[in-house]
Structure 1
């Protein structure tokens, strides 16, 4: 079996499982850890299949806390990927195999096809990048997915009533005002198939076009505003308020009458990030992003909060 630098105790067993799932006689030629993800281990595997070669992607769920809370992660991602492939008009990986409990692979795992493209975090044209990102998300939400085929539904990660930003924010009272808003009843609106972790690190590009959306382990039925809000807070931290606003405008153009914007969901998504002291996301630095600091993350989150509160007060 091939040697590699990113070893995991169960990786060799998982590689044997993955190769056999593609073809019983497949041989592993190379293994490369894919950067950007921080909650699981993701590898690109190059396989020899007779005279041909094929690249596939293997995700290993090694986060014990996450597995304890959601033991069906591998099955969840496999179902989400199949839903996306069936209903959404955006390129997504094809499920090859999954082992929910790691009974054969040694660790919960999903094996999928390798999409062309790469993550782009510093685009040559910011406006084009944001427009295509908004278009791809609108396409996901327009999928006529049958909720009966997707048993997972949206739930909140954090309880806003327990928020305390006094250790790091320059405006903790305003954060408490935001917490009071998100503990009120949710706005009425339709549910749809959502990615639930839509942000730039999970989008692949080729020749300035979106070539794929990956990391579907959190896919579920829920409000479109959750996906929009999650991407916006990531954009705020990565590029600032203007980028987040331009993305929202692009998404609204492509979604049309199917989407009614409410800052409520932006506040919900923002508060998810505020339960821990802000820091620069490791997935960005692993992909070569420089120039971001903890202080800048705090400043951008505080500024975004104040903007959203103003919008909410104005009835936006």
Structure 2
């Protein structure tokens, strides 16, 4: 077995999970951008246990949020009450004193990521239903609170788009008054690559490192802009319709949150999210992504 994790990290995992066991396989998981994740298989007698370890090695991210391991640990403890499977927290190394970098150890969920389903309607509905269940959870005493990733006061019209006036309208709107809305437990990075499937059913939601108390519309908007890039505005709109059906009276749609979620991902010229090709998506280009983001932006302005 290739030694892809330092010995001291493997020893910590074994000591934490089963000191009588033996690590028989380590596999790096695909799709992560802010951290390195591995599946670790531990054999003890005839029992094989799979766990997942996240090691946050993005220095820029850690400078902004040094408590990321603690954040995910608290999120996993809270998410256990969501009516969708989520990983169980096993242990965490908050500062990296043991593992070298902040680390979270958790159970592994069954299922695989599905980004190009055969039945798009079923897939969109499953994603929407799972998110609606997350938002049923109250977060009044959760210690982390929503904030925008962008500094709204310094926003500028994207140089890569020919729709300058329309983007200027978007910026004016997001700089304006923030609508009052119900706050709940939100994932904060909800998109198709963080949802697992077994057959045609959602089997779990992963990657809870950004979870917080905030507006449901941010989760909806983040998934919608992701959907618009992957498959186009048609499916982004279908997701909203499906989410509204499952959320019912708990959700009052306001396009403001869609615009905030759109602005939140624009840290330069549009690019294909590296996690998508790593997970098997082919055919996307930076030009396609830019075109779809413009289309999505224009569709949102029509909703204002």
In the superposition, the TM-score normalised over structure 1's length comes to 0.93
Distance in 1 separating the partners of 2:265 and 2:56: 22
- Flag structure 1 segments of 5+ consecutive residues without an equivalent: none
For residues 147-176 of structure 1, the C-alpha deviation after alignment (integer angstroms, 9 at most, x for no partner) is 22x110000100233233443111122112
Could you tell which deviates more after superposition, 11-20 or 194-203?
11-20
Residue in structure 1 matched with residue 176 of structure 2 by the alignment: 184
1:15: Cα distance to partner? 2.0
* Contact persistence 1:178–1:267 (CA under 8 A): yes
Alpha-carbon RMSD = 1.2
Aligned match for 1:248, one of 230, 234, 240: 240
> What residue number does 1:277 align with?
269
Q: Distance in 2 between matches of 1:77 and 1:223?
A: 19
**Residue equivalent to 1:63:** 58
2:146 to 141, 146, 154: 154
Q: In the superposition, relative to structure 1, how do residues 166 and 58 fare at CA in structure 2: closer, same or farther (>3 Å)?
A: closer
Partner of 1:142: 136
| 2:129 alignment partner, SS class | helix
Matched residues in 2 for 1:252 and 1:165: separation?
Answer: 31
Contact 1:252/1:259, CA 8 A, preserved across alignment: yes
What is the DSSP-based 3-state SS (H/G/I as helix, E as strand, rest coil) of the residue aligned with 2:265? helix
Could you say if the C-alpha distance between residues 166 and 255 of structure 1 is closer, same or farther in structure 2, counting changes exceeding 3 Å? Answer: closer
Which residue, 119, 125, 129 being the options, matches 1:125?
A: 119
Q: Which residue of 1 aligns with 2:44?
A: 49
1:38-76 alpha-carbon deviations (Å, 9 max, x no partner): 111010001112332111100000001111111111111
What residue in structure 1 maps to residue 160 of structure 2?
168
Specify whether residues 43 and 225 from structure 1 end up closer, same or farther in structure 2 by C-alpha distance, changes over 3 A only: same
Q: Which 5+ residue runs of structure 2 have no aligned equivalent?
A: none
Q: Cα deviations across residues 186-235 of structure 1 (Å, max 9, x unaligned)?
A: 11111000000000000000011000000000000000000000000000
Per-residue Cα deviation, 1:254-309 (whole angstroms, up to 9, x for no partner): 00011000000000000112231100000001011001011110100011111111
- C-alpha distance in structure 2 between counterparts of 1:23 and 1:106, whole Å: 21
Are the counterparts in 1 of residues 29 and 37 from structure 2 also a CA contact under 8 Å? yes
In structure 2, the partner of 1:78 is 73
1:309 is aligned to 2:298 = no
In structure 1, which of residues 222, 225, 228 is the aligned counterpart of residue 217 of structure 2?
Answer: 225
3-state SS of the aligned residue for 2:148? coil
1:90 aligns with 2:84: yes
Are 1:193 and 2:185 an aligned pair? Answer: yes
Aligned residue-pair number: 304
SS at match of 1:274: coil
Q: Secondary structure of the equivalent of 1:135?
A: helix
> Contact 1:164/1:172 (CA < 8 Å) preserved in 2?
no
Kept after mapping to 1: 8 A contact 2:156/2:171: no
What is the TM-score normalised by the length of structure 2?
0.97
State yes or no: 1:31 paired with 2:26. yes
CA contact (8 A) 2:158 2:167 kept: no
Counterpart CA distance in 1 for 2:192 and 2:138 is: 24
Query: What stretches of structure 1 move > 4 A for 4+ residues in a row?
Result: none
Q: Tell me which moved more, 265-274 or 48-57.
A: 48-57
